[in-house]
Amino acid sequence: MQSQTVLIEKKKKITESINLHNRLGSALWRLPTEVLSEIFIHCLPETSHPTSALAPMLLTVICRRWREVAMDMPNLWCRLLLKVCGDWQRKVLCYDSWLKRSRGLPLSLVFHCYAHNSTWLVRNLLRPYINEIVSLAVFAVRLIDKPERMAAYLPALQELTLSTVGCGLPVPTTGHSFSPNLRSLTVIGPLFDLGIISSFNPVWSHLTHVNLAMRHLNAFFHLLHLCFALSSSKICIIHNRTQALEPFTHAKLQALHINSGTNCLPDLFNALSLPDLRILNVSYSQTWHHKEFMAFLMRSNCPLERIFGLGVTMTDEQRAECVALIPSLQTV
């Protein structure tokens, strides 16, 4: 008798679960297309790769209506991660089908390049979409021929990331072929010096963000002279300066993240003025040079809001001095 009661109770719970599922399914089916579209947008992963296990591909196999809605939403198909390896001819059909669904909207693409002839392969794929690509990241995971050539002839390009870590590749030798619309440049791997920075003209004058590794602090100052529109920068200094630094004021830089184990902060603080600085992130400095930093703050007279970073330690007294000098400073 007890066993029969248990079975009846289980059957009841299963029936209730089925009914709830049917009601939910019915409710989802009745959702207006606008609401369903908004839900689909929130389903997108951070990086999109053609796989049936992730949106937007997953959304196309749930039911016919979901597929129709998803296929009719160009903004679901504007981000794509592509792997240049293996059977490229088969992959390119899938990638091209994906990109066609974007219907002319701005595209954000990430390439993981394994093949030696990646540049030629990728440029053939991108040719129909050169006016739509606004963001491009190229990660070279083996020796390939000049990855920066993938960014050439993309007139709408605004953001470019080039990574050649572990590939033994030299830094790109010219910026002349980059789009005049380029605003953000990140180069991971090679070190920039004065010569390479000079060879990149005129691209620097357009940039508002740069993320680079520098051989010396004077190379960073040279970069600041050329990037007069710069509003944010992430810089790694590998060696200390090789010559005296002339005082310099950059009027537009609002966020500076400087990573250096060479203890170059005194030289930086003594020579640089940043009257519009809002955020300062200093990482891996061997010593915090408070006297030079306070002189930098007084000279810059900037609306600083935050100071933070790894390996930087201030005393309570030093924090109080900073807050007293900069009323806008909220976090130290």
- Give the domain extent around 242: 232-332
pLDDT for residue 303 is more than 70: yes
Final residue before a domain boundary, out of 190, 219, 247: 190
Contacts of residue 164, defined as CB under 8 A and 6 or more positions apart, other chains included, come to 140, 147, 188, 189, 190
Tell me, yes or no, whether 222 lies in a domain. no
Displacement of CA 108 from its chain's centroid (Å): 11
- Give the largest Cα separation in the chain, rounded: 94
Tokens encoding 102: 């974007």
Which candidate, 286, 304, 283, 279, places its Cα nearest to that of 294?
304
Q: 332 with 280, same domain?
A: yes
Rounded to 5 degrees, what are φ and ψ at 295? Answer: -65, -40
Tell me, yes or no, whether 197 lies in a domain. no
Tell me, yes or no, whether 11 lies in a domain. no
Amino acid at 52: S
Contact call for residues 102 and 74 (beta carbons, < 8 A): yes
Q: 173 with 92, same domain?
A: yes
Tell me, yes or no, whether 250 lies in a domain. yes
d(CA 114, CA 58): 27
Terminal-to-terminal C-alpha distance of the chain: 71
Q: 72 with 82, same domain?
A: no
Q: 70 with 84, same domain?
A: no
Summarize the chain as % helix, strand, coil (round to 5): 40, 20, 40
Q: 72 with 86, same domain?
A: no
Q: 116 with 57, same domain?
A: no
pLDDT in tens, 109-149: 998 887 666 677 777 888 899 999 999 998 876 545 565 66
Final residue before a domain boundary, out of 12, 45, 76: 76
Q: 286 with 315, same domain?
A: yes
Where does 215-278 show beta strands of DSSP type E?
232-237, 248-249, 255-260, 272-273
pLDDT in tens, 53-76: 788 999 898 888 889 999 999 999
pLDDT in tens, 76-95: 999 999 888 777 778 888 89
Q: Whole-number mean pLDDT of the chain?
A: 82
- The number of beta carbons lying within 10 Å of the beta carbon of residue 56 is 22
Q: 39 with 130, same domain?
A: no
Q: Give the sign of the dihedral formed by CA 36, CA 93, CA 117, CA 113.
A: positive
Q: 308 with 240, same domain?
A: yes
pLDDT for 147 equals 59
Q: 69 with 92, same domain?
A: no
Task: Give the count of domains, the chain.
Answer: 3
pLDDT in tens, 148-184: 666 767 889 999 998 876 555 445 555 556 788 999 9
Final residue before a domain boundary, out of 76, 110, 138: 76
